[in-house]
Structure 1
Amino acid sequence: MANRTPSAKLTLSYPLYGCAFASNSSLVVGGGGGPGRNGVGNKLTLLDTSDATEISEDAELELSANEDNVTSLAVGPRKDRALTVFAGVNSSPEDIKKGKNQHFRVFGVKSAAKRSGEKDKISELARDALFVHKDADTYQRILRLSYPYEGLSQLGVIATGLSKDPQIAIFDVPSSGGARWKSRGRLDIPTEAMDLDVVQTGPDTYQLAYCTESDIFVVEVSKASISEPRCVFNITPDEGETAKASFKALRYLTPGFVFTVLNKPKSAGVALHGYRLPNKDQDYASLSVRAQLPRSVSKATGLAVRNLSPVDTPSDKQDDTQFVVAVAGNDSSISLFTMEHKSVGRIDMLANLAPFQVLKSVHPSNITGLSFSFAPPKGPAKAAPELYIKLASVAVGFTTVVHSIPLKKYIDKAAPARKGGPPKPSRYIVALKSKGESPTHIIVLLALLTLLMAIIGQTFVEMNGLSKPILHVHRVFPASWTVPLRKIPIPGQQKSIGDLLSDARPHHTQQLVIKHGEVTEVGPDGLPDLHVGIHDQEVHGPATPWENLGAQDRDLWKQRLQRSGHWVEDMGEAIFKGVLFGEIGGAIGNIVGEAL
């Protein structure tokens, strides 16, 4: 497949502020000139993007010239040949002065039957006010729907813009489509949301995440209740600085990860961050993956993300997949990245956030909206002459551009073959090669790593008296550091935990600790490796004597040691007396508990 990204461009008669794919070939766009602007209408247009090099109009709805333009939109469920579109359109200034602003609009798009001679048609189905405050400047700035699963209702969320009393409104989207929707409630928030997204976690449970300029919050939504927002991440200024970066956009990747775009202070560039969300026992999200936009981009204006192998139901576990990321810059460029989601045992992680193409000068004006088409067909990947995922972008300068990003079939050679199915599991990935770091950076990094390893090696031999002092580490480190933490051997080579403790005790008089290694150090049983040695709280974190552990933690540790082949019940618990055990709570506790 050729390494190319075909594109098609269309100029409409009005400025565009939103776009959303209705299918792989249909795109809905909206915008307008607002109230009282002669010559520039407010419209909603259905576009045909089936041709990779040409865009054509299928249908258009002229909205009231006395009301505001379309500010946000999302495509809802389809039933037969009917499609539901949700949008934000403020009422007329006269109605708003009277305290009436029906900003929430529902439209129906009816596709014409083939060979009937009819044209597609767009019509308004319903309008309502979901925000309760009567602020005249408020408008519906953000609109998101959860990912559509067959037979399940979606959840919709909207957020205010320019409001003195910021709100987030939540509503149901029945799978049957049409104008039938139901409000689930509202959240009054002290600071306006810069962006938000929603993900389905069960048949009728959801989580929404939103970001202000400096914080990320999550909210649990069930049939019975909506939780209070919980702050899971806060941006702090870099050391020595007073200004700090600010969040611009946020999207869910899976229920466990969100992806964000941050504009650095003083227009110093754009950072991309993927965060692992905390579970109920943790307080804050942790950074999992990061990247930078080209230096020519001083600020970002938009974000779109698409999972190329989504799960079939919200209860399914996400396996290995690739995400495609598009970030719009203030120079009218679009930076394209790929990112991998890896599932190793019970551990999920993000990796390889890498650019594969920069689309320069896509529009003659600022980009206001980005949208990816739906993911490739479900089931085993099929060979095809050409297969694409499409990226639509719209701009205030009346232009719509659709890029077709080539995909290819990927077979995981390391995965076991499936009985009765294809030889190996297959999925889709972007066909264009991602660009890694430059050779210069790699050479410098390797040189630094070599120097670091040499220093560590010399430190080790000096601490154990195997070399004449060169670094004089005995002046810096305590004598008790002469024996490092030892990794417990793998099954088949391991000693019992009693033998390991007996081997270690003659070398020092301080208490011993048994702890887990890093989450990325996965042993043969799919769990983090175990280590044994002397304890230093500043280095290894907090630890608790066996006698002070709770019953649940004792059971988890015994099962963990038993599973790895280092302890059996016949040994008894006396060998643990006086031994410290590292924390098994948080992420490690979840991993161990789920696996056992």
Structure 2
Amino acid sequence: MVKQISSTSLQLTYPLYCCDFADPDHLVVAGGGGPGRNGVGNKITLLDTSDATQLTEVAELELSSEEDNVMSLVVVGPQKDNSDTTTVLAGVNSSPADVGKGRNKHLRTLTISQPGKSAKTGGVKISEFARDALFVHKDKDTYQRILRLSPAHEGLTNSPRLGAAATGLSKQPQIVLFDVPSTNSSPRWKTRGRLEPSVEAMDLDVIQTGPDTYQLAYCDDHEVFTVEVSKAEVSEPRCVYSIEPDQGESVKASFKSLRYLTTGFLITVVNNPQSRGVALHGLRLPKTEDENARLAIRAKLPSSVSKATSLAVRNLSPVASPSDKQGEAQFVIAVAGNDSSISLYTLEHKSAFDSDILADLAPFQVIKSAHPSSITNLSISTFAPPKGSKKSSPELCVKLASVSVGCSTVVHNIPIKHVEGSASAKPGVLAKASRYVVALKSKGESPILSITLASLVLLIVLLVGQIVVEAKGLSEPILGAKQFLPASWTVPIRKVPRVEEPVIQQKTIENLLSDINARQSQPIVIKHEDLGAVGLDGLPALHVDVHDEEAHGPATSWENLEKKDQDLWKQRLKKSGHWMEEMGESIFKGVLFGEIGGAIGNIVGEAL
């Protein structure tokens, strides 16, 4: 029987911005409509994913409607001194009134009690345990955009993990490092250090490198930095990799996401300039201060994906402790695109002669139209190898969760199979250990096919070119093509001046919400084009770009728009299919809006 990826979905009542697995059978999702009276709540929901045919709500916590929606979330996991309680950390801004007074307790600690029980027993409850502030600057527009923890290790007990949180929309960007203890009897968290990069982090990740040492990696639009963290100190950020423009290009590609594969490798998502596609880049991290990171492997996403919105990675054979050497392993990689697709890849990690390499970064499936609207976050469940005879069970899988601004949650079940190990017959080459891999065939690209196609195309171009020059008498008759061609082909070409038709220049806006949800490190502006350019709905065309006041003119944040202008913008975006009532207004957080009053306001108002 051919294994396939099955899926199940659930529609909730609020837009979703983040998700994380508490365990392979339980998923935490969160989001909301933000502060205000839009009727869309701010919530955190626990879902049961154990049934491959349906998702079930187990418990839900409704947060204050006066505060912001949940924008980042990670599951810490069960506490060592209380296995019935799971801790969750979330980023939730305080109310606008408190933020305006310089009080923003944005880091929330929540607990899920007895997450393994059925919802019908009433035994599962989500509660707020504490709220704190990590960021020291009092910028009222700042929110906790990124939250990440170092992975837990099965071989380490009662060991704290390192967390990292980064600001969004801050005039003084920050990255805060903090300890997350493994027991309830310890303090909730303890700050390790604060970084103040000149540009906000686009993404970051943390990995444990020793008993009490860690490494932080973060990227801005064009550079990757690493930071060494020990009990004694936190090093200064070091730029280890920079994106350079392609030959003949003046604009650089930009990083969207990054994740650690091992202590020696990162996987990054790169958006090409001018929405010309997306690529995965595997980077080999430097081992000494004198080295820089190097590109180890790369692959292109399908051409239908012009931008990426989220990344998730899972090692199917993780090491038990950071001191263990990573042997042969396969990684599952998922990338969400702005066309609401999810591209799935496998990547092999191999070891030989004390060297590690990445190989076979290959797609195994593209899930098209996974959601009806923009995908905001992805998460892949952990994988605990079964014991005994069950290790080859056909039900083995890892689960891929995705959420969207359209309130939808989808869980895909990716089948896994066991691969027996083998002894090594070569000196210096590690024996292959038993491991788990995706039970679907990857579609690796053949270099022979690419070379053959390129050669054929070149040959055809040369033949056609020679035929044309012979037909016009511009070359000696090498092929003798002229005698076989009609007379009309052999008449010399008369040059006629070309008259170009005037074309209305209009920048088509595709997946507007996807651009907004990309949450670039610079403010995004939405404005109307000149009255001469119209969209498909007959109204002045919309234009989305990184804001440049000199080029775009003045713009105002959503919160500072007058009520009548907010209503006009909502009607305009609803008319063009970019916004729905159930999304709430928090989706406009950090977005600037151009003028809609005057002549444009009248046109929009009359048309609507």
TM-score w.r.t. structure 2 length?
A: 0.70
* Deviation by residue 1:54-108 (Cα, 9 ceiling, x = unmatched): 1000100000000000000000030311000000000000001100110111100
What is the Cα deviation at residue 411 of structure 1? Answer: 2.0
CA distance in 2, matches of 1:37, 1:394: 24
- AA of the residue aligned to 1:312: A
CA gap of 1:67–1:24, structure 2 versus 1, over 3 A, is: same
**Contact 1:84-1:177 at 8 Å conserved across structures:** no
Q: Does 1:108 align with 2:115?
A: no
Partner secondary structure for residue 50 of structure 1: coil
1:140 aligned partner: 144
> Counterparts in 2 of 1:3-22, with a 5 A limit?
3-22=3-22
CA gap of 1:219–1:378, structure 2 versus 1, over 3 A, is: farther
**Contact 2:85-2:115 at 8 Å conserved across structures:** no
2:175 corresponds to which of 168, 178, 200: 168
CA distance in 1, matches of 2:289, 2:20: 37
Q: Does 1:399 align with 2:408?
A: yes
Aligned Cα root-mean-square deviation (Å): 2.2
* Deviation by residue 1:365-417 (Cα, 9 ceiling, x = unmatched): 11000000002327788121320000000000000000000001112446479
CA distance in 1, matches of 2:237, 2:165: 15
> Counterparts in 2 of 1:175-254, with a 5 A limit?
175-177=182-184, 180-254=188-262
CA gap of 1:65–1:269, structure 2 versus 1, over 3 A, is: same
2:166 aligned partner: 159
Which aligned segments of 4 or more residues in structure 1 are displaced greater than 6 angstroms? 378-381, 445-448
- AA of the residue aligned to 2:167: T
Partner secondary structure for residue 47 of structure 2: strand
**Contact 2:328-2:432 at 8 Å conserved across structures:** no
Partner secondary structure for residue 382 of structure 1: helix
- AA of the residue aligned to 2:246: D
**Contact 1:416-1:424 at 8 Å conserved across structures:** no
CA gap of 1:365–1:177, structure 2 versus 1, over 3 A, is: farther
- AA of the residue aligned to 1:198: V
2:504 aligned partner: none
Deviates more, 1:218-227 or 1:182-191: 182-191
What is the Cα deviation at residue 114 of structure 1? Answer: 5.2
Larger relative contact order, structure 1 or 2 (CA cutoff 8 Å, min sep 6)? 2
1:131 aligned partner: 135
1:313 aligned partner: 321
What is the Cα deviation at residue 180 of structure 1? Answer: 1.9
1:99 aligned partner: 102
Equivalenced residues, count: 444
CA distance in 2, matches of 1:180, 1:268: 45
- AA of the residue aligned to 1:93: P
**Contact 2:215-2:228 at 8 Å conserved across structures:** yes
CA gap of 1:91–1:15, structure 2 versus 1, over 3 A, is: same
> Counterparts in 2 of 1:346-365, with a 5 A limit?
346-365=354-373
Partner secondary structure for residue 36 of structure 1: coil
1:327 corresponds to which of 335, 351, 361: 335
CA distance in 1, matches of 2:367, 2:445: 19
**Contact 1:332-1:365 at 8 Å conserved across structures:** yes
> Which sections of structure 1, spanning at least 5 residues, go unmatched?
418-422, 452-596
**Contact 1:76-1:177 at 8 Å conserved across structures:** no
CA distance in 2, matches of 1:258, 1:211: 11
2:417 aligned partner: 408
TM-score w.r.t. structure 1 length?
A: 0.72
2:299 corresponds to which of 288, 291, 298: 291
What is the Cα deviation at residue 238 of structure 1? Answer: 1.2
Partner secondary structure for residue 94 of structure 1: helix
- AA of the residue aligned to 1:433: K
CA distance in 1, matches of 2:447, 2:382: 36
1:389 aligned partner: 398
CA gap of 1:13–1:216, structure 2 versus 1, over 3 A, is: same
Q: Does 1:117 align with 2:125?
A: no
What is the Cα deviation at residue 247 of structure 1? Answer: 0.1
- The share of aligned pairs that are identical, in percent, is 63
Partner secondary structure for residue 22 of structure 1: strand
CA gap of 1:113–1:52, structure 2 versus 1, over 3 A, is: closer
**Contact 1:269-1:297 at 8 Å conserved across structures:** yes
CA distance in 2, matches of 1:321, 1:439: 24
